[in-house]
Structure 1
Amino acid sequence: MASLTPAEKYNIISRNLQEVLGKEQIETILAERDLNIYWGTAPTGKPHLGYFVAMTKIADFLEAGCHITILIADIHAFLDNMKAPMELVSKRAEYYTQLIKATLSSIGVPIDKLKFVLGSSYQLTAEYSLANMKMCSKTTERDAKKAGAEVVKQVESPLLSGLMYPGMQALDEEFLGVDAQFGGVDQRKIFVMAEKMLPMLGYKKRSHLMNTMVPGLAGPKMSSSDPDSKIDLLEGPEDVKRKLSKAFCEEGNITENGILSFVKTVLFPVRSMNGKSPSFSILRPEKFGGDVIYTVFEDLEKDFQDKKVHPGDLKKAVTDAINELLAPIRKWFDNDELRTLTEDAYPSPKPEVKAKPVKSNKPAPSANLPVDISRVDIRVARIIEAKVHDANPNSFISTVDCGDGDVRTVVSGLAKYIPLEEMQNRLVCAVCNLKPGKFQGVLSSAMLLAGSSPDDSVIELLQPPAGLEAGDLIEFEGYGQADRTSPEKLNPKHLIFEKVAEDFKISTEGIAMYKDLKFNTKAGHVTLKSLKEGRIR
């Protein structure tokens, strides 16, 4: 390290980054000493392949002689993921620490040179709490929402926890004693806020290093909250193959191609570490062009654009490369202790235990309950995958995530009205406490709510607002929620749902209504894409 000049160190630190804020400040420090950098991650969903981009940069920082702190931001995870209690977050913090160490080790990064810090180890101290109060006293609600717009879930009526998140991330720079913070470009607004706010509190301004975001397989970026957009670091070989085979990869299209972008942002940088010459191989029969080895990404990109590389061949090559990359991480976790930790951090959904019926002459408790919306469990759900029913081309069979690991099969007669591609990876409103029943030969365990025009010529699925997740509630002012811990199963013989649904309608503004009440969520109202007036069924 001593043989590197300050300019050479800066070039290593900044290579492959999308943006650097505070270049001059970094250069001044490097002229005197090595740089102190921190990278933080909140232990929420399972880490995915996009983490390799950060890992390769951590390797660069070490090569440049930097001192690296890795923050496992457990308090931030709790603030941004209120569905998970702190006990669960603490297990996920352990899981993240092990997985990050495994990932770094798999690409030859010496983890003994890294400092791992748990956010709660200092964020719960009196000194930090006072600094946080000072930060809050100088931060407006508008500035807090703006800073967290790309990172914290945005809703119409945000919780204070989400508003505190950006300011706390800024304070971490001071309390970790670093010169710079490293993160994705999606955190830019938080970094800009930190540069503005820390000097106002009497602290020094830090620099910020930003990576490009790794595109998802089915969206703009890999996201822990979207299972179809990412591949987890412990994903099995067959799951990797399945997800890659479904990923969008249009022949000749290099602008909207998550797979090609992954080769650029992850595979080439990983394979060029430790002074190696990067290479990426496409293996195929001679009649399709034979094997070809690429040492420069731009050559692969041009051949794909010119249709000299078929999407199927690219997918197969990336599948093999990813499985090779993940093999040592899977091996690290292949022991009873870490298997137990994984289950504790991300518990498998427990099977529903049905109580044995008790014979009694007394009327069932539900017989005395009012027939209104409080009896119906309506949730935001996400269609993971939908396909046309083999025996009925007018129906879909959908795999639907109803939240907290509750994944169900749902049959719906919508194929006449809604294109199959519009049924993939989308949020819907689902009735989740109907008694499961066979529909067209398939056991269906929920109902997807759709609106229809007065003449039934147009049918559309209800649209929850953006920013929600599977399992979020649909609420109705003045009515309590259906019990979701031990929910009442609505027997079709009693027609409870059917009677309640008689009061469902679509307003002239295209809002889903129950009587005169809007279908409401913490992110706003449920709407219809184009329907103004009509019914909901």
Structure 2
Amino acid sequence: MSVISPEEKQRLITRNLQEVLGESKLSEILKTRDLKVYWGTATTGKPHMAYFVPMSKIGDFLKAGCEVTILLADLHAYLDNMKAPWELLSLRSKYYENVIKAMLRSIGVPLDKLKFVQGTDYQLSKEYTLDVYRLSSVVTEHDAKKAGAEVVKQVDHPLLSGLLYPGLQALDEEYLKVDAQFGGVDQRKIFTFAEKAFSGYEKRIDLMPMVPGLTGNKMSSSVEESKIDLLDDAAAVKRKLKKVFCEPGNVSNGILSFIKLVVFPIFGEFEIVRSKEFGGNVKYEEYDKLEADFASEAVHPGDLKSSVALVINRLLDPIREEFKDPELIKLTNTAYPPVGKAKNVILKQKTSNRKKGSFEVSLIWMLNLYKCYGPPQFPHPDADSLYLETIDFGEPSGPRTVVSGLAGLVPLDSLQNRMVVCLCNLKPQKMRGIESQAMLLCASHKSETSKEVEPLAPPTGSNVGDKVFIEGVPQVTPDEKLNPKKKVWEKIQVDLSITKDGIATWQGKNIVTSQGAVSAANLREANIS
């Protein structure tokens, strides 16, 4: 590699960054030596296409001669609401290291000044543990929550692990003996927290990029529509890109951000591939020109998507090839074991506007939730204790008939035009001659003299297509119909409950949407049935 000036090194290090804290210090270091920088990633879900954003910057760091450490933050992955099971931490760290190396090789980045460190290699040491105790004596709950607000899952009653998380990250830069930390702007509060909490330690440089996901928000491994897996085939890439929001003339979209922050830094150009009928191919050597043409609608969203699909597959081809190795196939399957389908349960929800849309997310026993809306309910014609409900789940087959034993327990008018949660893949069952095709779920509390019942309610602001899921639990495809002989629902139901704060949980994990927790407003410390 040819020798480059300190000024050129700084240009490479800082290009396409949203913010740099400590740029003057960066200039001083580069006058005498190469920068030592680290990037940390919690080893939770599988890395996806958005990881090419930090990879392209890590490529810049390595080309600038930086000594780069990648921290495989396995302990952080567990502390953030147990997003990674303890027994899988080591396997997932190995998967991350292999897939990150494959990504860097796919973009032609030299790896001779790159090293990997696993968090538990030093975070369980006596020295580090003593620093954690020291940290706990000077940091308030308020400051810890504020520092982790954009990174750690926020709940009304946070676990101690989530409060520890930002402090542990603040310690990492000291124990890794680096000059700079590279991380998204969502971590800015942790960066500034580190300086305040550890006034006796050397101040570090903070380098911050960010990229929206394909849906327009930060790309997440837990949101299927927002990510393209690194091992997805070409057909899956095309299918997922078709669903991406990309309005004609609107330059605020994840496709253009990906081209700006990944394609141009790696390839230095981008080509729109289209038929001669629509203007033929156009090669862009400057991102601003492409953005201007898209804004003026000289470039159609369909052509942009199909062209970026070609680039994505170009990046993924060598990774797919590497992961044909039997050992890597075995590693992938053991680090992310497929969850069996024998115990799948679906729950459905839908809002009052009856728009179609659904989503899936699973817990250990495949508890999947959707959105649903219940149109007018009325008493069962042959049973005073039953309500007969017509509930629209947005399915092509139309609304379902649901029979529930809520008469005399829940006022009929309180069920009109409200959000409900229903179990939808039990075997249909006739109740007094009418087939019930789902089960409406409620919080319930029974004493010797009375029984109280309240339908579960999603949080305010939940919309059609929002995910409802069990925090920290992976996704799977549910069975269309459960085998009643296996008593799947009966096994799951015993671990469903309402907390003293009114939050719906399964085995202590919150049942939530992106807007917050599913709840029961009036019944506390109750069962769910």
Counterpart in 1 of 2:55? 55
**Aligned-partner SS, 2:214:** coil
Residue identity opposite 2:144 in structure 1:
A
CA distance, structure 1, for counterparts of residue 103 and residue 288 of structure 2: 27
Measured against aligned partners, the alpha-carbon deviations of 1:201-258 in whole angstroms (never above 9, x if no partner) come to x3211111111x2211224111112111111212221111111011111111112x22
Q: Is contact 1:418-1:460 (8 Å) kept?
A: no
Change (3 A) 1:196 1:183: same
Structure 1 position 78, deviation (Å): 0.9
Pick aligned residue for 2:428 from 426, 437, 451: 437
Counterpart in 2 of 1:206? 204
Q: Is contact 1:70-1:117 (8 Å) kept?
A: yes
Counterpart in 1 of 2:524? none
Change (3 A) 1:153 1:252: same
| Residue 166 (str. 1) matches residue 162 (str. 2) | no
CA distance, structure 2, for counterparts of residue 409 and residue 142 of structure 1: 33
Q: Is contact 2:502-2:519 (8 Å) kept?
A: no
Structure 1 position 153, deviation (Å): 0.6
CA distance, structure 1, for counterparts of residue 393 and residue 437 of structure 2: 22
Residue identity opposite 1:267 in structure 2:
V
CA distance, structure 1, for counterparts of residue 437 and residue 262 of structure 2: 40
Counterpart in 2 of 1:347? 337
CA distance, structure 2, for counterparts of residue 83 and residue 4 of structure 1: 42
Pick aligned residue for 2:360 from 381, 387, 400: 400
Is there any run of 5+ residues in structure 2 with no aligned partner, and where?
A: 376-389, 396-418, 443-454, 473-485, 521-527
Structure 1 position 461, deviation (Å): 7.2
Counterpart in 1 of 2:131? 131
Change (3 A) 1:446 1:14: farther
Structure 1 position 7, deviation (Å): 2.7
Residue identity opposite 1:221 in structure 2:
K
CA distance, structure 2, for counterparts of residue 44 and residue 28 of structure 1: 36
Counterpart in 2 of 1:478? none
Counterpart in 1 of 2:241? 244
Change (3 A) 1:26 1:487: farther
Counterpart in 1 of 2:258? 262
Change (3 A) 1:142 1:317: same
Structure 1 position 400, deviation (Å): 2.7
CA distance, structure 2, for counterparts of residue 147 and residue 518 of structure 1: 27
Structure 1 position 84, deviation (Å): 3.3
CA distance, structure 2, for counterparts of residue 58 and residue 407 of structure 1: 39
Measured against aligned partners, the alpha-carbon deviations of 1:463-482 in whole angstroms (never above 9, x if no partner) come to 37899961249xxxxxxxxx
Measured against aligned partners, the alpha-carbon deviations of 1:419-450 in whole angstroms (never above 9, x if no partner) come to 979xxxxxx974559733399xxx99965769
**Aligned-partner SS, 1:307:** coil
Q: Is contact 1:40-1:73 (8 Å) kept?
A: yes
Structure 1 position 259, deviation (Å): 1.4
Measured against aligned partners, the alpha-carbon deviations of 1:155-187 in whole angstroms (never above 9, x if no partner) come to 110001111111111111111111111111111
Could you state the TM-score of these two structures normalised by the residue count of structure 2? Answer: 0.73
| Residue 216 (str. 1) matches residue 176 (str. 2) | no
Q: Between the two proteins, what is the percent identity of the paired residues? A: 51
**Aligned-partner SS, 1:400:** coil
CA distance, structure 1, for counterparts of residue 303 and residue 158 of structure 2: 46
Change (3 A) 1:409 1:205: closer
Counterpart in 2 of 1:320? 310
Counterpart in 2 of 1:368? none
Residue identity opposite 1:251 in structure 2:
P
Could you state the TM-score of these two structures normalised by the residue count of structure 1? Answer: 0.72
Pick aligned residue for 1:303 from 293, 307, 320: 293
Residue identity opposite 1:11 in structure 2:
R
Measured against aligned partners, the alpha-carbon deviations of 1:337-396 in whole angstroms (never above 9, x if no partner) come to 111111111111213179xxxxxxxxxxxxxxxxxxxxxx9x9x798xx9xxxxxxx896
**Aligned-partner SS, 1:203:** coil
CA distance, structure 2, for counterparts of residue 290 and residue 2 of structure 1: 38
Structure 1 position 111, deviation (Å): 1.9
Q: Is contact 1:73-1:118 (8 Å) kept?
A: yes
Structure 1 position 114, deviation (Å): 0.7
**Aligned-partner SS, 1:50:** helix
Aligned length: 441
Measured against aligned partners, the alpha-carbon deviations of 1:130-154 in whole angstroms (never above 9, x if no partner) come to 0111111111111111111111111
Residue identity opposite 1:259 in structure 2:
I
Is there any run of 5+ residues in structure 1 with no aligned partner, and where?
A: 273-277, 355-376, 387-393, 422-427, 451-458, 474-485, 492-496, 498-512, 529-535
Residue identity opposite 1:66 in structure 2:
C
Structure 1 position 408, deviation (Å): 5.8
CA distance, structure 2, for counterparts of residue 487 and residue 195 of structure 1: 54
Counterpart in 2 of 1:142? 142
Change (3 A) 1:34 1:41: same
Residue identity opposite 1:169 in structure 2:
Q
Change (3 A) 1:264 1:429: farther
| Residue 287 (str. 1) matches residue 247 (str. 2) | no
Residue identity opposite 1:403 in structure 2:
L
CA distance, structure 1, for counterparts of residue 330 and residue 436 of structure 2: 33
CA distance, structure 2, for counterparts of residue 437 and residue 409 of structure 1: 18
Counterpart in 2 of 1:41? 41
Counterpart in 1 of 2:470? 471
Q: State the superposition RMSD in angstroms.
A: 4.1
Residue identity opposite 2:27 in structure 1:
E
Q: Which moved more, 1:397-406 or 1:113-122?
A: 397-406
Q: Is contact 2:457-2:519 (8 Å) kept?
A: no
Residue identity opposite 1:79 in structure 2:
L
| Residue 156 (str. 1) matches residue 156 (str. 2) | yes
Residue identity opposite 1:435 in structure 2:
L
**Aligned-partner SS, 1:228:** helix
Residue identity opposite 2:294 in structure 1:
F
Question: What pairs up with 1:471-490 in 2 under 5 angstroms?
Answer: 471-472=470-471, 489=489
Change (3 A) 1:65 1:445: farther
Structure 1 position 399, deviation (Å): 4.8
CA distance, structure 2, for counterparts of residue 260 and residue 83 of structure 1: 30
Q: Which moved more, 1:340-349 or 1:121-130?
A: 340-349
**Aligned-partner SS, 1:267:** helix
CA distance, structure 1, for counterparts of residue 468 and residue 371 of structure 2: 21
Counterpart in 2 of 1:365? none
Counterpart in 2 of 1:531? none
| Residue 331 (str. 1) matches residue 291 (str. 2) | no
